[in-house]
């Protein structure tokens, strides 16, 4: 986002050392794009923005995997315990790729485990099947296949006041296995990532009337593309922001 030019940079190595937050509390907000730009302009001037090779906004591609009967999706839709997501995430500007398994942690937090992966294997879990099974344990051996593809551009911010992170995602696109696509060019997804406490970015959002909302890039996107699926947690959100 061009609005970041007034902020100092932070390297990936320093960001990881200060605020890796693989076990964390995530709060998500869906904002009009212009409101997200205004938010960035209001950040604490000590905020730093991730910069790599002079760039501050990076392209992401994620492939989500699920079973033929969509176990991962349905656990999320029905708010069941032991929810999980399996995906590959490719950082398109660097060609780095990870196989990631996200599970529900203590008191509703998120635990993310990830494995370095070959970018050419982004659409299969088979080379990392041992890793997925090891993390999931109770759900080991699931028949997992690509179910949804997402693209977006992300800017990442570091808050020195509490060693928290915030991300702003724009140009969101979802593509189903049948090729059906949905793009939200006028919407931004803001996510705060903290150890537990509320972050300065959360307080700034609340002061401007924005509240955390239930959105999962996987589940909400799939629900928008598949009206036949149960989607109670995201109906209000989709009516407001999804065409």
Q: Is residue 13 part of a domain?
A: no
Tens digits of residue pLDDT in 99-113? 999 987 665 567 889
Residue 16 falls inside a structural domain:
no
- List the Cα angle 136/73/197 in 5-degree steps: 70
Residue 1 lies in a domain: no
**CATH code of the domain in which 128 resides:** 3.20.100.30
**Quick check: 167 and 191 in contact, CB under 8 A?**
yes
The per-residue pLDDT for 43 is 93
Q: Please indicate, yes or no, if residue 134 is contained in any of the structural domains.
A: yes
The ranges of the chain with pLDDT < 50 are none
pLDDT at 138: 74
Report if residue 206 sits inside a domain. Answer: yes
Assigned domain for 4 exists: no
Write down the pLDDT at residue 24.
64
62 with 152: CB under 8 angstroms?
no
Spatial distance between the Cα atoms of 7 and 156, rounded to a whole number of angstroms? 12
Q: Is 97 exposed, middle or buried (0-12, 13-18, 19+ CB in 10 A)?
A: buried
Given a contact cutoff of 8 angstroms between Cβ atoms, the answer to whether 97 and 117 are in contact is yes
Q: Is the dihedral of CA 118, 122, 127, 131 positive or negative?
A: positive
Number of folded domains that form the chain: 1
pLDDT score at 209: 95
pTM of the predicted model as reported, rounded to 2 decimal places = 0.91
Which pLDDT belongs to residue 83? 87
103 within domain boundaries: yes
88 contact partners, CB below 8 Å, separation of at least 6: 62, 63, 97, 98, 99, 100, 117, 121, 122, 123, 125
177 contact partners, CB below 8 Å, separation of at least 6: 146, 147, 148
* pLDDT at position 162: 82
Question: What pLDDT is recorded for position 70?
Answer: 96
d(CA 82, CA 212): 22
pLDDT the model gives residue 12: 87
- Answer for the pair 45, 7: CB distance below 8 angstroms, yes or no: yes
Tokens read off for 99? 């196989």
DSSP structure class, residue 2: G
Residues 151 and 60 sit within 8 Å (Cβ to Cβ) = yes
> The domain containing residue 107 runs over which residues?
23-241
């Amino acid at each position: 986002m061009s609005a970041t030019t007034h902020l100092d940079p932070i390297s990936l190595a320093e960001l990881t050392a200060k605020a890796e937050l693989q076990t964390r509390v995530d709060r998500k907000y869906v904002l009009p794009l212009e409101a997200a730009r205004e938010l960035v302009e209001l950040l604490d001037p000590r905020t730093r923005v991730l910069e790599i090779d002079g760039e501050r906004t990076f392209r992401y591609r994620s492939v989500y995997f699920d079973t033929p009967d969509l176990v991962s999706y349905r656990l999320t839709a029905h708010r069941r315990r032991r929810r999980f997501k399996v995906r590959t995430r490719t950082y398109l500007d660097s060609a780095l790729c990870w196989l990631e398994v996200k599970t529900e942690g203590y008191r509703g937090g998120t635990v993310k485990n990830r494995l370095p992966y070959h970018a050419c294997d982004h659409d299969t879990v088979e080379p990392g099947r041992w890793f997925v099974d090891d993390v999931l344990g109770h759900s080991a051996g699931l028949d997992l296949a690509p179910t949804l593809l997402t693209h977006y551009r992300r800017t990442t911010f570091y808050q020195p006041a509490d060693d928290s992170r915030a991300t702003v995602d724009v140009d969101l696109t979802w593509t189903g296995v049948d090729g059906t696509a949905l793009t939200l060019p006028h919407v931004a997804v803001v996510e705060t990532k903290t150890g537990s406490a509320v972050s300065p970015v959360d307080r700034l959002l609340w002061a401007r009337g924005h509240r955390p909302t239930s959105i999962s890039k996987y589940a909400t996107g799939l629900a928008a593309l598949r009206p036949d699926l149960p989607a109670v947690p995201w109906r209000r959100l989709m009516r407001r922001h999804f065409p």
